[in-house]
């Protein structure tokens, strides 16, 4: 079974695919050792690691280098968050899609943001054609930002999400990502109407994985939550070191050096 086939099968339920998103090769190995069945990147977390704000500021060469580093060490399928494809024009994303496939990734996220759904639909079409041209299977996850960008609320948000789901489905998407939806009734209405595997984003007030599964969700992403959390701890330990001159936080809970070092094969 190819990585692409494995990744596709992970969306077919009944078990929900949980993705603790990675930002570099080290975090990819970490989540793998915890039992993650696939690795997905978070665009924000990858951008931050390299010193860039989120929002397609990161040079695509740097993004591709990170994807190659993750694929060098990963043993499970890898999907890449491409934001809007790092290009305003649909045809402009073709080279990036080809490069991500060439690197060995089997999935991509493409998002609409504040753009017209027809633009994302055209990008999905380009991704499909590039995958066919290079002869690789690709799972396209279409992200709609109806909730994330507050483009609508309540029943209107559900309706707009389902309207877009139909457009993206017609364009050839394999999945629908709806970050920032948290209300169980709205999640249930979306999974019932989307006719696509639905992906939601971890939030403090999101229903648990067990409840999401009952609501019909097929994929859950942590997004940049792991980075927001680890940087908070790193800040607390750094402040203690710089301000109090002590190391309590630094050593309260660690993975020993040899254990981390052992995650990485030697060429």
Footprint (CB under 8 A) of a copy of itself, residues 46-75: 47-54, 57, 62, 65, 69-70, 72-73
Span 8-27, contacts to a copy of itself by CB under 8 A: 18, 20, 24-27
Closest to a copy of itself by CB, 135 vs 256, is 256
Beta carbon of residue 75, minimum distance to a copy of itself (angstroms, whole number): 12
Interaction of residue 88 with a copy of itself, rule CB under 8 A: no
User: Alpha-carbon distance 122 to 134, whole Å?
Assistant: 19
Q: Is the dihedral of CA 211, 214, 216, 217 positive or negative?
A: positive
Q: Does 43 bind a copy of itself (CB under 8 A)?
A: no
Pattern of binders to a copy of itself over 195-234, x per CB under 8 A? -------xxx-x-xxx-----------x-xxxxxxxxxxx
* Residue (88 or 134) nearer to a copy of itself, CB: 88
Distance CA 224, CA 21 (A): 7
Position 245 contacts a copy of itself (CB under 8 A):
yes
Sheet bearing 78-81, strands edge to edge: 17-19, 219-221, 198-201, 175-177, 139-143, 107-111, 78-81, 39-40
> Minimum distance from CB of 27 to a copy of itself (Å)?
7
Sign of CA dihedral 170, 171, 172, 176: negative
- Cα–chain-centroid distance for residue 145? 14
């Amino acid at each position: 079974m190819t990585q692409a086939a494995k990744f596709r099968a992970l969306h077919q339920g009944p078990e929900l695919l949980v993705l603790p998103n990675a930002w570099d090769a080290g975090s990819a190995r970490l989540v793998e050792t915890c039992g993650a069945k696939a690795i997905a990147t978070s665009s924000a977390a990858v951008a931050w690691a390299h010193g860039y704000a989120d929002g397609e500021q990161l040079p695509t060469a740097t993004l591709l280098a990170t994807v190659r580093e993750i694929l060098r060490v990963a043993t499970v399928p890898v999907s890449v968050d491409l934001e809007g494809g790092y290009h305003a024009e649909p045809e402009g994303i073709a080279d990036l899609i080809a490069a991500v496939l060439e690197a060995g990734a089997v999935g991509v996220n493409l998002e609409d943001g504040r753009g017209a759904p027809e633009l994302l639909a055209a990008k999905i079409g380009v991704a499909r054609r590039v995958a066919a041209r290079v002869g690789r299977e690709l799972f396209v996850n279409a992200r709609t930002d109806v909730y994330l960008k507050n483009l609508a609320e309540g029943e209107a948000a559900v309706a707009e999400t389902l309207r877009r789901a139909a457009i993206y489905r017609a364009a050839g998407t394999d999945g629908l990502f709806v970050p920032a939806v948290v209300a169980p009734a709205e999640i249930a209405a979306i999974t019932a109407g989307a006719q696509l595997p639905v992906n939601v984003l971890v939030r403090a007030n999101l229903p648990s994985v067990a409840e999401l599964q009952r609501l019909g969700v097929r994929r859950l992403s942590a997004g940049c939550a792991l980075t927001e959390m680890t940087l908070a701890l790193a800040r607390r330990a750094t402040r203690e070191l710089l301000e109090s001159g002590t190391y309590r936080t630094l050593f309260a809970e660690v993975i020993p050096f040899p254990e981390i070092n052992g995650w990485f094969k030697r060429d």
